[in-house]
Structure 1
């Protein structure tokens, strides 16, 4: 029986990817580095720290990684706070509430910083639904490394065979599968360029999911 659903946050619970995109590309311009859209697509699902570690090495940047992380966070926070239209993705709150009514434990495991996760949870009142919030900044390697999802299952005191991950990025799907967890991939408006073929199931709307439909896939996991 499924006991825990592990949600990614950006692109799954809330559509903050455009804000991240704009913050990153503003900073890339400040740094004078020619990051292409194709290269940026490979960053989705990775922590900001890991992204700048890669860029520092690739482009020989003199700036300190932590300083670049703080600048990115500054740009993101400003846009996040000023965007009055920002909301949870359609159908996701309904799904979250349905899962909780069925006593399914919920965990968020996001590559976002703790500060960004807290910002989203505070603004949209999500604390009451989730037992744990896990940030990628606590791990040496980002998704597709499975560590964040293994930690989520551990904190939830749930075997990986009784967990489900909901992701929208190729790196996240790969991390879930490497952790041995059934993965549902959500094709978000910003999933272009993301290869989600490793997912066990692909959805295009959260209306396709419910606590009952998630229970129905248990035999597949146990097979």
Structure 2
């Protein structure tokens, strides 16, 4: 008959008191008091020694102490042993370097320089320019030392100049109107003293100075 395992009990007294109806031959129980497993043998008659052979309170048979219930904290240097064992399993590859520090109990996995190619990089990867080998030099080599362009082919240049000029014109004497749609800047001379429209030639130079 195969052994069947039950729940643990707190003391040997609890083990002795297990009811015969659930105490089948080769039945196993853990006892917390002794941190041991006990198996029940229905036909055993060994004298009860209070530890290795336990006589049940009711009925015949004996409980045999099998082995101690050892927990990981009871094993000296178990943590260290596991770490060392795992560390030995890691092997360097052509792209990765594995290392284990026995002092700090840490594992390190590092990518070896120059081992990543285009096939390893996702299309949407966010890579710093400083990490792209030779990018600056490549761009410098492709750029011309000097660029010459005809103003007529620069899109929006005229509009930009007009907007800048119109914004720059300031005067308290001359009325300035800028038609952005027509691209026209209109200057209106101030009224002459005594009425009428002043002649542009009579405008003091300081007025022109204020425009630029």
Normalised by the length of structure 2, the TM-score is 0.16
More helix per residue: 1
Which of 1 and 2 has greater Rg?
Answer: 2
Normalised by the length of structure 1, the TM-score is 0.15
